[in-house]
Chains A and B, each alone.
Chain A
Amino acid sequence: MSQEIFAALMVVALLWPLALVLREPLMAALNARGETRFPLGPLWATAPLPALLLALLGGEGSLALSSWLLGGVWVLDETRRVLLAFTALLWLLAGWYARGYLAGEGERATAGNGAASARLARFAIFWPLTLSGNLLLLLAEDIASFYLGFAVMTFAAYGLVIHSGTRDALTGGRAYLIMAVLGEGLILGGLLWGAGSLGALTLGELREGLVNLEHGVWIGALLWLGFGVKAGVAGLHLWLPLAHPVAPTPASAVLSGAMVKAGVVGWMATLPLGLVEADAAFAGLGRIMLAVGLAGALGAALIGVCQRHPKAVLAYSSVSQLGMLAVLVGMGLAAPGLWPALAPAVVLFAAHHGLTKGALFLGVGIGEHPPRLPAWALAVLLTLPALSLAGVLGSGLTTKWVFKAALYDGGFAGLVTWLSLAAVGTTVLMARALWRQWQGERQARLDGLMPLAAPMPVAWLLLLVSALALPLWLPVAGMRPASPPVSELFGLWWPALLGLAVALLVGWRVHRQPPRLAWRRPPPGDLWWPLTRRLGRLWGGTRPWLARLAAAKKGWVAWWAALERSATSALDGLSEREAWLSRHGALLMMAVAVGLALVLLASP
C-alpha cells in the first residue's frame, strides 16, 4: 500500500466517526418539521469500518503532522494493528447490536416520546465520539494526541453510561466520572513530570527515557495508578461494577472489551517494559504491580460470585482478567528479559478478552430478548464464550498457552500456579453469570421471541464466531499465535475443571440450604459505598470549621470597615469644627484683640 493511501486511510479512520457525530445534529436541524427518525441507521453503524480496514489492510507505517497540537505522530505497528483490529471489530459489531437493542426506544421515540428521542440522539452522538477517542489513543505516538484520545474516550463514555437516566445509572455515572477524573489527574501529573524532565514529545521517548531519570520510578507509579483506574487495578476498580450493569448492553460490551484495555495500552506505551537497563526500583514497581494484580484477580472473583446481576458478575470478571493482565505487564518490569516473549501474550490476551467479554455482554442482552432458537442451542451458544474465557477452548486456550509457555520458559512456574488459581475463579464467575442469566432467560422466553435475522442476534453471533476463531483470523492483522500441543491440554484444562467442580458443589450446597442472611452480600462497587459514606462524614465534620473560617474573615473585613468608618467620622468632625471656626472666626479674633488690648491697658 502506498504511503499516500495509507495516510489517507489513517485520517479517514479517525475522522469518519467524527463526521457521523456531526451528522446527527445536522440531520436534526435540517429535519425541523418535527417527524422523528431512528438515528441509529446502517450508515451510523459504519463508524469503525475504516479503522477496521486500516488494521486489516494497512500494513505498517506512520504519519507525521507538524502543525497538529505539539506535533502529531500517528503510527501503525505490529502491536497496534492487533489492538486496532479487535477494537474496531468489537465497536462495529456492538454498534450493529445497538441498532437492535435500542429499536424499542426508537419505536417509542417515533410514537412521540420526547425523552426517548432525546436519549437516542444522545446515544447516536456519544457512541461515535467515544469511538474516535479510542481509535486515536491506539494510533497516537505523540503524547498530546494520546492524551487527547484518552480524554475524549473517557469523558464521552459518560454519556453512554448514564443513557437510561435512572437513579442507578446516575450513581454509576458519577462513580465512573469521579474515578476517571482522578485517573486523568494522575496521568497528567505523570506525563507532565516525565515529559518535562526528558523534553519528550512522543511516547517512545518517554518510555525509554524514564529509566534514566532520578525520580523515574515515581513517574512510573503515577502512570501505573492513573491508567490503573481504567484498567481496574484493585482498589481503583470501584467504577466498573457500578457502571457496567447500568449502561446499555452494547455500551457495556465496548466499555469492558475495548475501553478498559486503554489502560493496559497506556501501561505498555509509557512504562519501560522490557528495558534491561531499568534499575531495581522499577523491578520493585513491577513486583508491586504483580502483587496488586494477583490480589485483584483473586479478590474480584470472590466478590463477583456474590453478585446477582449478570452484568455485575461480568464486570467483576473483567476486574479479575485485568488483574491477570496487570500481572503479565508487571512481569515486564520485574523481569525485563522476559518481555519480548510476554508482549505478544499481553496483546493476544487483550484481544481475546476484549472480544470474548464483548460476546458475553451481548449475550446478556440476548438472554433478555431470546431469538427464535431452541433452548439448548441458545444455552450452548451462551456457554461457548464463557468456556473460552475460562481457557477451555478457542482463543482462550491459545492465549493461556502463549503466556504460560512464556512464563515457564522464564522459570516462573509458581506464578503460573497463581494464574491458574485465578482461572479457577474465572470459571466459577462464568458459571455464576450463566446461572443468573439462565434464570432471567426463562422469564424472557414467556414474553416472546425475536427473529434470528434481527440486528441483535446477527451481531452477537458474528462476535461470538470472531472471538472463538481469533487465532485463525489474527494472521490477517499480522500476528501468528502458536497453538498448544495436545500433550499440554490437561495442564491447561485443570483450572476450568476444578472451577466447574467448585461451582457445582457450592451451587448444590446453597440450593439445598440457602445461607442465612446474617452474612451480608457485598454490593456491586464494594468499597465505593463505605468510602463515600466516610467522605460524606468527613465533609460534614469540616463544614463547621469552614463556617468558622468564613466568620473570621467576615470579622476581619468588618473590623477594617469599622476602622474606616471611625476615621471618616473623625474627618467629618474636623470639618464640622472647621465650619464652626469659620462662622465664629471673626468674633473670636475680636475677642482675642479686645483681650489683648485689655491686657495692654491693664499693664503698668
Chain B
Amino acid sequence: MSAAFFPVATLATSLLAAAIIFLLPEGAFRARTGLNLAAAVLKIGLVAWMVRGLSQGHSYAVEFPVLEGLAFVLRADALGIMFAGLSSLLWLFTTVYAIGYLEDSPNRRRFFGFFSLCVASTLGISLAGNLFTFLIFYELLTLSTYPLVAHRGNPKALAAATLYLRFTLTAGLVLMLGMVALHALAGDIRFGQREVLAEFGAEQRGTLIAIFWVLIAGLGVKAALVPLHGWLPRAMVAPAPVSALLHAVAVVKAGAFGIVRLVYDVYGAELSQALGLLTGLAIVASVTILYASLRALAQVELKRRLAFSTVSQVSYIVLGIGLFGPLGTIAALSHLLHQGMMKITLFFCAGNYAEELGIHRIDELDGAGRRMPLTSLAFSVGALGMIGLPPLVGFLSKWYLGTGAVQAGMPWVIAVLVASSLLNAAYFLPILYRLWFCPGPDHGVGEWPAERHLGRFETSSWLLVPALATALFSVLAGLFAGLPYSPLEWATRVANLEYLP
C-alpha cells in the first residue's frame, strides 16, 4: 500500500466516525457504541502498523500545496507516531469509560460526535508535518472541545466553557501571529528541517528569540503554563471522560507536544540552547511546577486538586525540554506518555467516586477504600506514581529529569524536583490516608453523599475496567521499562534520533 494511505486512513477513521455518529439518531445506542469501539480499535491497529513500518525503515507521508509556498503535510515520524500511539490507546479506554459514564444521559449523539472530532484533531496534531498543518488541527481541537466542556449545559459549565474558549482562541491567534512571522522570515519549515533556522546569522537572533516566546505564549495556554493555566481548574466541571481527555489525552498534551515540536523540530535543540531559550523554559516550568503544587495543596475538591496537579505535572515535560541533552529529552518525551497514563487513571477514579457514591470533595472520601477497593487501588497507583515512587512510571520520569538536569549543568533543578515530590506527597498522601485508613460509611460512620449501585462489582464494569487497565499499564510500563516498545524505550529511541546524527 502506498505511503500516503496510512496517515490519511488513521485520520479518516475518527473523522468518519464523527460524521456517522452525528447522522445516527440519539437512541441508536448499540450502533454508536459499536462504531466508537470499532473506530478506536481500528485506529490502534493502523498506528501499530505504522510503528512496525517505521522501525523497519518505511516512511508514511502525504502532502499537497494549499497556497504558493504553503503545504498541507501529514507525516508519520517517530515522535509523532509516539504521540499518536498514546492518544489512540488512551482514547480506547476513554471511549469505554465514556460509554459507561454517559449511560442514560441526554445529548449523547452530540457528545460522542465531538468526542470523535476531538480525537481526530489530536491525531492530526501528532501527524502534522509543518506548523501550518499543526495550527489547523490545533484550532479544530479548540473548537471541538468546547461542546464537551459545556456538555452539562448548566451555568457553571457554560461559564467554564466560555473561559476555556477565551483562553484558547486568544492563544490560537497569538500562535498564528508567531507562525506568520516565522513564515515571513524563513518560509515553510517542515518539522525536522532544523538547518533552516540554524543558518540565520547573529543579526536575526533577536527576531528568532521574540518569535519563539510568542509561539510559546500561544502553546503555553493549552500546556497550562503559569500564568496561562486559569482555564484548566475551572474546566473540571466537565464530565469525567472529558476531564480525562483534557488532562491526559488531548488538550494539555497538544500544548506540550507543540512545545516539543517547536524546540526539537523547528528550532532544534542546539539552536535553542545557543539562543538561551532552554534555560528560560526550564525556569518557567519550575515556577509552574512549584506554584501549581502549592495551589493543589489548598484545594478541597478532588477534581480541582487533580487539575492543579496536572498543571504541575505537565510542566515536567516542559522542564525536560528545557534540560539540554539526551537525558532531558528522554525525560520530556517519556513523561508525555507517563503523565497521560497516570493522570487518566486518577480522573477515571475520581469519576467513579462521583458516579457511584456522589463524592466530589476530598473529605467525603473517608473509608472509600473498603467500599470500592479496586478503584481505590487504581487511584493509589496513580497517586504514588505522581509522587514519583518506583516501580511506577513517575519514578522513571523523575530519574531522567534529575540525571538530565545534572547533564545540562543545572543541578538546581533537582531541588525543584525534590520540593515537588514533597508537595505531591503532601497533597496525595492525605487522600490515600482517607481512602484506606479513615473509617467511613462502610465502617458505620456517616453515609455516602449519593450512593448508587451501578453494577455487579463495586461499580459499573464500563467504569471500572478502564481505570484498572490504565493503572496496570502504569505499573507494567515502570516495572518492565527495559522491554522494547515500552514508553521509556520508545522515548529513548526518539531522543537518540534527535541527538545522534
| Total inter-chain residue pairs, C-beta < 8 Å | 97
**Which listed segment binds B: A91-99, A190-198, A354-362, A478-486?**
A190-198
Of B373, B402, B403, B481, which one neighbours A25 at CB under 8 angstroms? B373
Considering the complex, which residues of chain B in the window 394-442 have a beta carbon less than 8 Å from any beta carbon of chain A? 395-396, 398-399, 402-407, 411, 414-415, 417-419, 421-422, 425-426, 429, 436-437, 439
C-alpha spacing A199/B426, complex, angstroms: 30
Within 8 Å CB of A177, what residues of B? 429
Closest to B370 in A: A118
Within 8 Å CB of A66, what residues of B? 482
B407 touches A196 (CB 8 A): yes
Known contacts A25-B373, A114-B443; decide if A195 and B403 are in contact (CB<8 Å): yes
B396 touches A148 (CB 8 A): no
Q: Does A71 contact B (CB under 8 A)?
A: yes
Within 8 Å CB of B418, what residues of A? 185-186, 188-189
Q: Does A70 contact B (CB under 8 A)?
A: yes
Q: Does A147 contact B (CB under 8 A)?
A: yes
Contact with B along A141-154 (1 / 0, CB 8 A): 00011011001000
Q: Does A490 contact B (CB under 8 A)?
A: no
Q: Does B391 contact A (CB under 8 A)?
A: yes
Q: Does B444 contact A (CB under 8 A)?
A: yes
Of A68, A115, A155, A192, which one neighbours B482 at CB under 8 angstroms? A68
Q: Does A182 contact B (CB under 8 A)?
A: yes
Considering the complex, which residues of chain B in the window 473-493 have a beta carbon less than 8 Å from any beta carbon of chain A? 478-483
Known contacts A66-B482, A70-B482, A193-B402; decide if A182 and B429 are in contact (CB<8 Å): no
Closest to B367 in A: A118
**26 A-B residue pairs with CB within 8 Å:** A25-B373, A67-B481, A67-B483, A68-B479, A68-B482, A69-B396, A70-B399, A114-B444, A115-B439, A118-B370, A118-B443, A144-B399, A147-B395, A148-B391, A155-B384, A159-B436, A165-B437, A181-B429, A188-B421, A189-B414, A192-B414, A193-B402, A195-B402, A196-B406, A196-B407, A197-B406
Of A25, A159, A192, which one neighbours B417 at CB under 8 angstroms? A192
Give A579 Cβ to nearest chain B Cβ, in Å: 26
Known contacts A68-B482, A70-B396, A193-B411; decide if A144 and B402 are in contact (CB<8 Å): no
Within 8 Å CB of A195, what residues of B? 399, 402-403
Closest to B484 in A: A67
B389 touches A151 (CB 8 A): yes
Closest 10 CB pairs of A and B: A192-B402, A196-B406, A196-B403, A67-B482, A148-B390, A189-B418, A67-B483, A185-B418, A151-B389, A181-B425
C-alpha spacing A596/B483, complex, angstroms: 90
C-alpha spacing A177/B422, complex, angstroms: 12
Considering the complex, which residues of chain A in the window 110-166 have a beta carbon less than 8 Å from any beta carbon of chain B? 114-115, 118, 122, 144-145, 147-148, 151, 155, 159, 162, 165
B405 touches A196 (CB 8 A): yes
Give A366 Cβ to nearest chain B Cβ, in Å: 29
Within 8 Å CB of B389, what residues of A? 148, 151, 155
A144 touches B482 (CB 8 A): no
C-alpha spacing A231/B226, complex, angstroms: 40
B390 touches A147 (CB 8 A): yes
Q: Does B322 contact A (CB under 8 A)?
A: no
A69 touches B422 (CB 8 A): no
Within 8 Å CB of B443, what residues of A? 114-115, 118
Q: Does B388 contact A (CB under 8 A)?
A: yes
Give B457 Cβ to nearest chain A Cβ, in Å: 10
Closest to A177 in B: B429
C-alpha spacing A447/B443, complex, angstroms: 32
Considering the complex, which residues of chain A in the window 58-85 have a beta carbon less than 8 Å from any beta carbon of chain B? 66-71
New A-B contacts (12) at CB < 8 Å, excluding given A144-B395, A185-B419, A189-B418: A67-B483, A68-B479, A69-B482, A114-B443, A114-B444, A145-B390, A148-B395, A188-B402, A192-B399, A193-B406, A196-B414, A199-B403
Within 8 Å CB of B437, what residues of A? 159, 162, 165
Closest to B486 in A: A67
C-alpha spacing A75/B59, complex, angstroms: 45
C-alpha spacing A122/B435, complex, angstroms: 13
Of B370, B405, B421, B480, which one neighbours A67 at CB under 8 angstroms? B480
How would you classify the secondary structure of chain A's contact residues: helix, strand, loop or mixed? helix
C-alpha spacing A118/B425, complex, angstroms: 25
C-alpha spacing A196/B391, complex, angstroms: 19
A189 touches B415 (CB 8 A): yes
B417 touches A188 (CB 8 A): yes
Of B398, B419, B425, which one neighbours A192 at CB under 8 angstroms? B398
Give B10 Cβ to nearest chain A Cβ, in Å: 30
C-alpha spacing A524/B115, complex, angstroms: 58
C-alpha spacing A114/B440, complex, angstroms: 12
Within 8 Å CB of B388, what residues of A? 188
Within 8 Å CB of B327, what residues of A? 196
Known contacts A144-B395, A148-B390, A151-B389; decide if A70 and B414 are in contact (CB<8 Å): no
Within 8 Å CB of A122, what residues of B? 436
Within 8 Å CB of B406, what residues of A? 192-193, 196-197
B402 touches A196 (CB 8 A): yes
Give B460 Cβ to nearest chain A Cβ, in Å: 19
Give B439 Cβ to nearest chain A Cβ, in Å: 8
Within 8 Å CB of B405, what residues of A? 192, 196
Within 8 Å CB of A184, what residues of B? 421, 425
Give A229 Cβ to nearest chain B Cβ, in Å: 13
C-alpha spacing A164/B349, complex, angstroms: 29
Closest to B377 in A: A25
C-alpha spacing A189/B411, complex, angstroms: 10
Give A186 Cβ to nearest chain B Cβ, in Å: 8
Give A543 Cβ to nearest chain B Cβ, in Å: 11
Considering the complex, which residues of chain A in the window 329-373 have a beta carbon less than 8 Å from any beta carbon of chain B? none
Closest to B417 in A: A192
Within 8 Å CB of A151, what residues of B? 389-390
Contact with A along B119-157 (1 / 0, CB 8 A): 000000000000000000000000000000000000000
Closest to A550 in B: B298
Within 8 Å CB of A197, what residues of B? 406
C-alpha spacing A369/B293, complex, angstroms: 49
C-alpha spacing A184/B388, complex, angstroms: 11
C-alpha spacing A523/B488, complex, angstroms: 49
B414 touches A69 (CB 8 A): no
Give A137 Cβ to nearest chain B Cβ, in Å: 11
C-alpha spacing A145/B482, complex, angstroms: 13
Give B455 Cβ to nearest chain A Cβ, in Å: 16
Within 8 Å CB of A69, what residues of B? 390-391, 396, 478-479, 481-482
Give A212 Cβ to nearest chain B Cβ, in Å: 14
Within 8 Å CB of A68, what residues of B? 479-480, 482
Give B109 Cβ to nearest chain A Cβ, in Å: 34
B390 touches A71 (CB 8 A): no
C-alpha spacing A159/B432, complex, angstroms: 12
Within 8 Å CB of B390, what residues of A? 69, 144-145, 147-148, 151
C-alpha spacing A148/B390, complex, angstroms: 5
Contact with A along B367-379 (1 / 0, CB 8 A): 0001001000000
Within 8 Å CB of A147, what residues of B? 390, 395
